[in-house]
Amino acid sequence: MSDRAVWLAPAPGSIAWRRFGDDLVLYDDATGCTHHLGPLGSAVFVALAEHECGLELAALVDYLSADEDFSTAATFAAQVERTVLDLADLNLATRASA
């Protein structure tokens, strides 16, 4: 996958969420689905929501790596990529050209 793509959160207001500890529960107005995200999924979602113009995958990894709760292992980038793809499957993230 090209890192020249950016990942975006859904439009502001279309998703309601609630933080419980490190987890999020979310409600998607468009689908009526409720989702439960663990710590990494929550962090990825919030990072995208905080960056309205989106984040490239590498920038997303750098951003999350600054959080001491997350691993700096070599596999972390792959974990983030898998997570953002999972979020995309749930319509909680979309990919756009940079």
Partner 1 sequence: MIVADLSSRELHSCLTRSGIRLRVGPIVAQIRSPFRRVESGIALHYSAHEVVAPDTFADFLVAVDPPASVRRWLGPQALFRFGHDAPFHPLPAAQAFPLLEWGLNWCVTAHCHQFLILHAAVVERGGRAALLPAPPGSGKSTLCAALVAHGWRLLSDELALIDLDSRRLVPFPRPISLKNQSIDAIARFSPGASMSEVVRDTQKGSVAHLQPPAGSVHASQTTALPAWIVAPTFRAGQRTALAPLPQSVTFMRLVDCAFNYHIHGRRGFDALGDLVAGSRCLDFSYGGNLDDAVRMFDQLEALQ
Q: Which amino acid is at 87?
A: L
Using alpha carbons, list the distances in angstroms from residue 28 to 16, 23, 31, 98: 7, 16, 6, 25
Contacts of 88 (CB under 8 A, 6+ apart): 7, 94, 95
- Please tell me whether residue 34 binds partner 1 under the rule CB under 8 A: yes
Q: How far is the CB of 22 from partner 1 (least distance, A)?
A: 9
Residue 16 or 85 with smaller CB distance to partner 1:
16
Kindly tell me which of 21 and 74 has the beta carbon lying closer to partner 1: 21
71 in contact with partner 1 (CB under 8 A): no
Contact between 18 and partner 1 by CB under 8 A: the answer reads yes
Q: Using CB under 8 A, list all residues that contact partner 1.
A: 16, 18, 20-21, 23-25, 27, 29, 32, 34, 36
